[in-house]
Amino acid sequence: MKSGVRHQLAEKMAGEITLSDSPGQALKKWRQSFSIPQGLLAERLEVSPSVISDYESGRRKSPGTAIVGKIVDTILSIDEDNGSRFINKFAKILYSEFDEDVIYDIHEYASPVALSDFAGVIEATTLCGPMDQTVYGYTVINSLNAILQLSSSEFNRIYGWSTERALIFTEVSTGKSPMVAIRVTPFKPRCVVLQGISPGEVHPIIPGLAERDRITVLCTQMDVETIISSLRGKAW
């Protein structure tokens, strides 16, 4: 797939890795976003798996632009061999605009942000799931409009460039609807934030759904505008 989409995606990936304060973490994010094991990437690059591990952990000096370009090209080639599943997913993001009444805000982080720090900014409390994780971005979504207006394929667009993100569903009543919608779609977020309710108001089915999909669920009663301004105000 030597297409315009592939070229644009390669440029975005290489640029983010090269310019990141943590190039290894950015590389790891993209590898995982394409669901490629370290061993497979190393095999295709004809290097030891420890080389990839050392780059991602920062034990090895950050790769130069030429090596980054080769790694990115290999990631995309592996995906093409598997039917371009993730390239097609990201193509929809490259060429699509989000309706303002569905997506209130969407943002990507070049480096991982600790979920505990993220939760602190929006004054969220933990309902279930581990907090010793990181996110690479967030999406603030009007829960009702997303469920009513988006098809299953369009729903996947809320993940932006990485599923390792927090999906903040606003004005929920019990949280059941967005969690069920996530359950029947192929991609799963790192974290779901239910805005406007307390843990005691959450539907009892939520912890079970979250555990099955390995999703951490948080609750916050901070208003939507404050959430967006608070997150945008952080220099992450």
Q: 125: which residues sit within 8 A by CB, 6+ positions away? A: 119, 198, 199, 218, 219, 220
pLDDT at site 1: 38
pLDDT surpassing 70 at residue 3: no
Determine which of 16-20, 86-90, 153-157, 220-224 has the lowest per-residue pLDDT on average: 153-157
The larger pLDDT score, comparing residue 157 to residue 109, is at 109
Residue (of 53, 191, 26) closest to 112 by Cα position: 26
Question: Side chain identity at 137, as an amino acid letter?
Answer: G
Distance CA 49, CA 64 (A): 18
List b or e across 79-92, with b for residues whose CB sees 16 or more CB atoms inside 10 angstroms: beeeebebbebbbe
> What mean pLDDT do residues 127-143 have?
94
Instruction: Please report, rounded to a whole number, the percentage of residues in the chain having pLDDT higher than 70.
Output: 94
**Which long-range CB contacts under 8 A does 27-30 form with residues at least 24 apart?**
27/55, 27/56, 27/63, 27/68, 27/71, 28/56, 29/112, 29/136, 29/162, 29/164, 30/72, 30/75
In the chain, at which residue ranges do the beta strands (DSSP E only) sit?
Answer: 103-114, 125-128, 134-142, 166-170, 191-195, 216-220
**What is the predicted pLDDT for the residue at 2?**
44
| 118 vs 146, higher pLDDT | 118
pLDDT tens string 24-67: 988 999 999 999 999 999 999 999 999 999 999 989 888 888 99
Asked which of 139-143, 161-165, 188-192 is least confident by mean pLDDT, the reply is 161-165
Question: What rounded mean pLDDT belongs to the chain?
Answer: 89
Helix (H, G, I), strand (E, B) or coil at 72: helix
pTM of the model: 0.67
Asked if residue 193 lies in contact with residue 222, where contact means CB atoms within 8 angstroms, the answer is no
More confident residue, 210 or 62: 210
164-182 residue pLDDT tens:
999 999 989 999 999 998 9
The pLDDT value given to residue 100:
72
Rounded Cα gap, residues 210 and 180, in angstroms: 10
The span from the CA of 68 to the CA of 124, in Å, is 37
